[in-house]
A and B are shown apart, each in its own frame.
Chain A
Amino acid sequence: MKSWNRFKNSYLLYSFKRDPVAILSFCVLSILVIISILAPVITPYNTYDSATFDIMDAETPPAWMEGGSKSFLLGTDIQGRDLLSTMIYGLRVSLLIGVGAVLFQALVGILVGLLSGYLGGKLDALLMRIADIQFSIPYLIVAIFTSAIFKLAFGVGRYAELAVPLLIIIIGMSEWPKYARTVRASVLGEKNKEYVEAARVIGISRWHIMYRHVLPNTLTPVLVISTIQVAEAVMSEAALSFLGLGMPITKPSLGSLIRAGFEYIFSGSWWITFFPGALLVIFILVILLLGDWLRDVLNPKLYKG
């Protein structure tokens, strides 16, 4: 209750209420997230169950077009699945991988950044060198390279089965240096402040200071980059799936749906590619808008100036 009151009087909520763009994007994002979490309940068809769809319905155009059917609002894909249901399930997969990958990269990055910044010395030099090396390759190339090798190692069948956890690891591994650098920079700023000195003087152990005192003070920038990182992770997943290195078509993400439709746009079935992509754009756009707003609010230098 106390924390609720604190939140109610916070600058965060105050500026949120005054920003119509933030409110709108928050609403859209919430709706999309709720829909994707509730996918099995609200979608008209279960697209993971091959008994519920019929290949005879394949490539039915959207309902308002000639040849469209009322039972498939946005048409069907090449296997005869209802496109709307498939997209909702796809969004769910994309969201799961995006959030999972960000959690993974934040975990690795925060740990590395904290150790590196607080302990310093040789460990710092080594860890930051590794981060630099990885930064010197475009992250999409890292992700493509790793997933191509994983696909070789696991074989196509097992890769498809394990795709979700594997993609979380692949995308997480290709982006952790961003967190490591951000956290390290703010740890270096906090380390020499008086409260850390004070904690050290009264004899609190190094690890305790690191986790209980320094870490919480570095989390604001982490929060800001996390929103953008979720958008980026969802994009990476879509790109990998589009290149055939991500989710299999039996359990498609939005990226694999775009890929599946790619081969059929020449025969006129544009909707299979168009709608999943449009959904992806809206999803990423609202995350970025919220991220922009959050950055402006949490960065005191910007709002004072």
Chain B
Amino acid sequence: MLAYIIRRIFVLIPTLLGVSILVFLMLHLTPGDPAELLMGERASEEALQEIREHLGLNKPLYEQYGLFLKQLMQGDLGETIWTRQKVWIEVKQRFPATIELSIVALFISCFAGMILGIISATKQYSIFDYLSMLGALVGVSMPIFWLGLVFMLIFALNLGWLPMSGRLTVGVELETITNLYILDAIITRNWAALRDALWHIIMPAVTLSTIPTAIVARMTRSAMLEVLRQDYIKTAKAKGLSQFIVIFKHALRNALIPVVTTIGLQFGVLLGGAILTETIFAWPGVGKWMYDAVMQRDYMVIRSGTLFIATIFVLINLCVDVLYAVINPRISVK
């Protein structure tokens, strides 16, 4: 088991190096002067010279990459182009917001997706099955930014039930420790802030969870159907066990293996979707930050954001693989 984990970590290193090379080279592979790309066509010659000096764009490529890598190793993601702020500080502030949103969305999609999938599988070809699978298909075909807007239109603008955007209402006091507002509110026993934070997260989290919910539901259904057909389920039923125990204790555990992998893979969907969701709901996370960077043409932020999200994604995939090996010991033997 340990050998498998170590082997997986070793595969990680060339992957991350590869990502860093790709991300680094993109600027240099595009035709034109990198300094001009960064500063825009109307930048003065002095400004161009200054940015070349500042970022070392005059040095040979391998030296630049070496420097870039060395900074990365020290956890330094460089500075933003326009405000010359440390990128790392910004990431540290914004990342908890993205994580909070993604975790709540993942939680919703696991819960809702698995329940839908289980009921559909046990009542195959019933009205409920057809409706929920149609719903799942519609969910997958829904562009989440559009769904978010429709939610906003209905629940915030027309009905006024939920707040439009942001993480907290202005004026609500909350002492931040982890920057995960829900967790902070629980730690400090600030129930008013907890209520407010939950109120704010519902719409973005539900929006973000649509596609994963649909995928988890479809996966759970097909995995459950496969398991329910097997002989040991028949045996369990013949023994006179209740439907509930057969489904949750006997069938679900074996059906979980493919579902866990699917759930792990959904994190990538969530991180990609976070940019869209955060943009709509003005959620101050890494995604919104990258969107703003795209608007302001801040290449350094776009690069760091991409690198950061890729790294997180790779690490999560590692965790999923390890978890998978724990659930299914046959994997690590191969």
Interface of A (DSSP majority class): helix
- Cβ contacts under 8 Å, B157 to chain A: 265-266
Rounded to whole angstroms, the CA-CA distance of A244 and B271 in the bound complex is 19
Rounded to whole angstroms, the CA-CA distance of A179 and B234 in the bound complex is 40
Q: Which stretch from A46-54, A97-105, A146-154, A206-214 is at the chain B interface?
A: A146-154
CB of A153 within 8 A of CB of B269, answer no
Q: At the interface, yes or no: B294 with Cβ under 8 Å from chain A?
A: yes
Q: How many residues of B contact A (CB 8 A)?
A: 51
Bitwise interface map of B from 9 to 52 toward A, beta carbon under 8 Å scored 1, else 0 = 00000110011001100110011100001100100000000000
Q: A153-B32, A238-B143, A280-B146 are in contact. Are A138 and B19 (CB under 8 A)?
A: no
Q: At the interface, yes or no: B314 with Cβ under 8 Å from chain A?
A: yes
Q: How many residues of A contact B (CB 8 A)?
A: 47
CB of B149 within 8 A of CB of A281, answer no
CB-based A-B contact count at 8 angstroms:
133
Closest residue on chain B to residue A259 by CB atoms? B145
- Cβ contacts under 8 Å, B32 to chain A: 153
- Cβ contacts under 8 Å, B306 to chain A: 137, 141, 144-145
Q: At the interface, yes or no: B280 with Cβ under 8 Å from chain A?
A: yes
Q: Which of A269-296 contact B (CB under 8 A)?
A: 270, 273-274, 277, 280-281, 284-285, 287-289, 292
Q: At the interface, yes or no: A72 with Cβ under 8 Å from chain B?
A: no
CB of B149 within 8 A of CB of A144, answer no
CB of A239 within 8 A of CB of B276, answer yes
Q: At the interface, yes or no: B160 with Cβ under 8 Å from chain A?
A: no
Q: At the interface, yes or no: B142 with Cβ under 8 Å from chain A?
A: yes
CB of A144 within 8 A of CB of B152, answer no
Give the Cβ gap from B125 to chain A, nearest Cβ, in Å.
14
> Can you list 18 A-B pairs, Cβ within 8 angstroms, ordered by A?
A129-B14, A133-B15, A137-B306, A139-B272, A141-B272, A149-B30, A155-B41, A242-B279, A243-B276, A258-B143, A261-B149, A262-B149, A273-B153, A277-B146, A277-B150, A285-B137, A287-B141, A288-B140
* Shortest beta-carbon contacts, A-B, top 8: A277-B146, A140-B272, A133-B18, A284-B141, A138-B272, A153-B30, A138-B268, A285-B141
Binding site for B on A (CB under 8 A): 129-130, 132-134, 136-141, 144-146, 148-153, 155, 231, 235, 238-239, 242-245, 255, 258, 261-262, 265-266, 270, 273-274, 277, 280-281, 284-285, 287-289, 292
